[in-house]
Amino acid sequence: MRKIIFSLWVALVASLSVMAQKVELFNYTGEVSVGELNKQQIVQYVLDWQRKHLPKDAILKYNEHTSELTGTAFVWYDSKIHAANDLTKGYIVYDFKIVATDKGFQYKLTNFRHEAKIKFHTLTTAHSFPYKINVVEKPWYDMVWKDIKRQLDDQMPKMINTLKDATEKLVYSAVLDEKSRETSVYQIVNASAK
């Protein structure tokens, strides 16, 4: 009997550790190709974008050696779950890293943390609220957990798309500028200016 109980206990621990390994931090990652710009132009562009699209309170650090921009920002969260929504209304803090490469840049938004009177802590890929709580409150926590992630899935891709869209415009204007240099009008104007 002890061997059976011990075997069941080992199987349970093994399955729980496998389940725990599959749960990761909730994040957004990707890569954007920008064509013929150098790393310094990309970094300057991302800094300009950051000033327009991230909160003014975003903490930002730049490492010249690795061409990495890192920082912390936040988005507002207004709960769509009406029960106790005043207690969960707040903001979601996250960390970001943008690395300029020879072809463009890579981004990673991670470590999302819910801050409010009732906190939902660090967001993970878990389908339901993964932290220990009272069993009676679990359904409500699960609904708010899903609502937070649903709102992030709506807001964050839009913000990332502003970065991609503006990059495409930047590359397009660089291509137009290069093509204009090939025209005879440009060459005549520059020749007469000398």
Lowest mean pLDDT among 11-20, 58-67, 73-82: 11-20
Q: What are the residue ranges spanned by the domains of the chain?
A: 24-193
The pLDDT value recorded for residue 13 is 45
Residues 91-108, mean pLDDT to the nearest whole number: 90
The more confidently predicted of residues 24 and 173 is 24
Comparison of pLDDT for 165 and 131, the residue scoring more? 131
Geometric angle at alpha carbon 108, from 43 and 75, rounded to 5°: 95
DSSP assignment of 109-177 equals EEEEEEESSS--EE-BS-SS--S---GGGHHHHHHHHHHHHHHHHHHHHHHHHHHHHHHHHHHHHHHHH
The one-letter amino acid at 22: K
The whole-angstrom separation of Cα 82 and Cα 147 is 11
What share of the chain in percent tops pLDDT 90?
37
CATH annotation of 24-193? 3.30.530
> Taking 80 as the threshold, does the pLDDT of residue 19 lie above it?
no
Name the most confidently modeled range: 54-58, 74-78, 156-160, 183-187.
Answer: 74-78
C-alpha 136, offset from chain centre: 33
Higher pLDDT, 91 or 161: 91
